[in-house]
Structure 1
């Protein structure tokens, strides 16, 4: 075949390959919507509590010690750190894909060529050295480096590496979001534990009051002022309150162990000072502007990076329709006798081959891969928009929750004070036979429930403060 014929065949091949590459399916892609409302409840204050580190946001030294320990020992967080390392290794793997691969090796073999072939017929009339004809069975030894390289003419491999980098960065943001949730979960459980301590103290005080009332009732029965029914009703109320005491004690154990699990340690006492729980005032939270959520919330940044990676995956999948250029080369020594391997230049052997290949017929697999990548990119857009919407709603709900809980606590505190005064009044009226024992019993029950609800409202306030801080994107710095 002449050089002109080779050039013609090469030209025809290139035309066929590029025509095939042009027949890429057209798919509809979706662009993300990054717009958010201008403010939270018409506030234009840009001061944002999310920029405050958790060490400054939480002032209780026992709580900060728990958080600090959890950031080192929490098993789920450590698992995530290893996933980040896996993503980093994927970046390293893809960064080497578009560089030449060089391998060094050697080998030995035996060839038996038929004498009825062109090579066998030629060997019959040739000599491997003067006076020694070429044998029909000829050993072969070789050693040397081999180079293979896929030339990244469509930037498919480089875009694949960029996608891996985005996934790696997304895994870091996922870790940051996990840290945010971990800090918030420990803080919420810590405040709940303090609340249970206070509720237990209230129950124990109430048991003392009920026992005193029971003693008075027994004395009144002996004086024939009340019946046995009053004594039994007071006894039943004591037993009921005592059973509630054990329920709270179990909640304390479970909450302590939940904190211990988050900290990554076996069950032990959680150090705390619950005496001043009722005087704790929720920290003022500055929500800033909704647009700041895009920079502060790790889950939003993670969704954005995953979206960028998905876009590049579409580009990579599209490049599979184009022809790829592969170059292979070998340079080494080859001889039928190992003693002659280093007899250069006679034993020197070299080869260089460049190949351009692309899909022409039956592109079903790469078409399916391309369509899948496009669908995942659309999924990533919806996931990003959902994450932004969820973040805004979380903040709006928690801001409203903090305002309403503040009003609720004031009214609940007024109720407790009124019921506390009515308790002493009802007891005095009962001892002077001016009130029925049921009034004392019901009043005491009401004040217990009101005090318990007051503590629950306080812990809800503190949890709302923590959850607002988390919703704004605080806690991972």
Structure 2
């Protein structure tokens, strides 16, 4: 037995020599590496609050909380992500099987009638159950690296599911904010329409008694119609937003219940975070790093294909026969084999080159993911800061236009200015009021996008070690 093992290892060493030169795994391209900046380019007022896994509850709207709970339970994208986790887990289990021995059982029976040397017919029956075991000695780590790659890919799939979950939550919050902004705009238009209708009645009464010209009546009619035609557009947008929220919640289109008004919704508190913290806070970055590690493991497995594979097999059975041997006989065998690649037409080298390219692709994808994450944070920081400035300016403009309308109305009633001045002031004020609503919604959505860009609030059962 010892001599057999010595011969087996000797053949293994000989096979390594025959296999030729083993290619060296090249380093990741230097230009694909990325380092996070020390601080943010845009202004960022950090807080001492930690990331809240349920950050949307800071808006204090129970209707929104219910919508998000429905989305987490019924959203199709989340369900698909969970299915992909199951697929990855099955692939991981399949790759693990290569590390374990295989055991098979077989059995056969033969019944035969023949003539012996004396011309006498005999009937022979032979039964032979056999157990076979085989195991590949993973000397060079080909199977171990393949299993490692499968495990890392499964972990990356879990992180991808967490990223989808975070995206669904953020999209639901932003869609709800947009819906409440549209409600505010519709309410503003309806109030404005009521005012235009009162003014139209007054203009009609004045025109009937000849106190004003037909021109002022037509101007009042046009202004009423201009306000009226905007309402169906907003109502259509509200319906579409309700349909989008229904789809996010995994249900058929329905009327969405309303909670707090837009002015009552407050942006969630952004946690303190540095650019380098994105490496562990953003699920897509964690996913990219896991996929890069998986590609490294696949590359190491491809490198091991240049080396021989060593297998050990054993067979144990028992023969039952009616003739010529009456007593059962035990049979067994044990042996080893070496399979060394000598000439594969470039197949192994091509597979190795493919894995190198895929590893480099994963490195570039990681760099792209990090740069995209940094860009998204900077974009939302800039948007939040600029939107605050815009809202302040709009507030000043609103106050000025409200005063201008007041003065224009008084001057018109006193006969010092035409009705057109009143209409212009009304249009400008309505436009700014609508912009104020949109600015408020944009700021809230920017804060939600910033929270998402910072990777706040994503959790899974176990964050993998990689």
- The answer, yes or no, to whether TM exceeds 0.5 is yes
Distance in 1 between residues matched to 2:269 and 2:10, nearest whole Å: 74
Counting only pairs closer than 5 Å after superposition, residues 230-379 of structure 1 correspond to structure 2 as 230-275=216-261, 277-335=262-320, 337=322, 343-344=327-328, 347-379=329-361
Shift of 1:109: 5.5
**1:365-422 deviation line (CA, Å, top 9, x unaligned):** 1111111111110011111111111111111111111111111101112212222232
Q: Distance in 2 between matches of 1:91 and 1:185?
A: 32
Alignment deviations for residues 113-152 of structure 1 (CA, whole Å, 9 cap, x no partner): xxxxxxxxxxx9xx8xxx8799999875421211121111
State whether residues 314 and 335 of structure 2, in contact with CA within 8 Å, keep that contact through their aligned partners in structure 1. yes
Query: More displaced, 140-149 or 166-175?
Result: 140-149
State the partner residue of 1:120.
none
d(CA) in 1 for partners of 2:184, 2:305: 66
Corresponding residue for residue 466 of structure 1: 448
Decide whether aligned partners of structure 1 residues 432 and 359 sit closer, same or farther in structure 2, where only a CA change above 3 A counts. same
Partner of 1:395: 377
- Check whether the contact 1:184–1:475 (CA below 8 A) recurs between aligned residues: no
Structure 2 unaligned blocks of 5 or more: 460-466
How far apart in 2 are the matches of 1:414 and 1:71? 41
Say whether 1:179 aligns with 2:165.
yes
Deviations 1:152-210 (A, max 9, x none): 11121111111111111111110111111111100000100100110000000111111
Per the normalisation by structure 2, the TM-score is 0.89
Structure 1 segments unaligned to the other structure (5+ residues): 113-123
Alpha-carbon distance between aligned partners in 2 of 1:147 and 1:134, rounded to the nearest angstrom: 41
- The number of aligned residues is 454
Q: Would you say the 8 A contact 2:46–2:270 is kept in 1? A: no
2:423 paired with 1:425:
no
1:167 to 153, 156, 160: 153
CA–CA separation in structure 1 for the residues paired with 2:293 and 2:145: 11
Structure 2 CA distance, aligned partners of 1:369 and 1:136? 58
Separation in structure 2 between the aligned mates of residue 101 and residue 464 of structure 1, nearest angstrom: 57
CA shift for structure 1 position 260: 1.0
Cα distance between partner residues in 2 of 1:9 and 1:245: 89
Q: Distance in 2 between matches of 1:462 and 1:421?
A: 28
Distance in 2 (CA, whole Å) between partners of 1:284 and 1:54 is 8
Q: Is the 8 A contact 2:124 2:323 kept in 1?
A: no
Match of residue 389 from structure 2 = 407
Report the Cα distance in structure 2 between the residues aligned to 1:77 and 1:337, rounded to whole angstroms: 64
Greater C-alpha radius of gyration: 1
> Which of 10, 17, 20 in structure 2 is aligned with 1:19?
17
Q: Output the CA distance in 2 between the equivalents of 1:283 and 1:13.
A: 67
Matched, 1:199 2:185: yes
Deviation per CA, 1:336-375: give whole Å up to 9, x if none: 549979x33xx22112221001110134111111111111
* Match of residue 190, structure 1, among 150, 162, 176: 176
Contact 1:40 1:287 in 2 (8 A): no
Cα distance change of structure 1 residues 166 and 151 upon mapping to structure 2, 3 Å threshold: same
Q: Secondary structure in 1 aligned to 2:255?
A: coil
- Once residues 353 and 229 of structure 1 are traced to their aligned partners in structure 2, the CA distance between those partners, rounded to angstroms, is 108
Could you state the TM-score of these two structures normalised by the residue count of structure 1?
0.87
Contact 1:44 1:289 in 2 (8 A): no
Which residue is 1:157 aligned to? 143
In 1, Cα distance between equivalents of 2:190 and 2:182 = 12
How far the C-alpha of 1:75 sits from its partner, in A, is: 1.4
Is the contact made by 1:50 and 1:296 (CA closer than 8 Å) also made in structure 2? no
How far residue 299 of structure 1 moved from its aligned partner, in angstroms, is 0.5
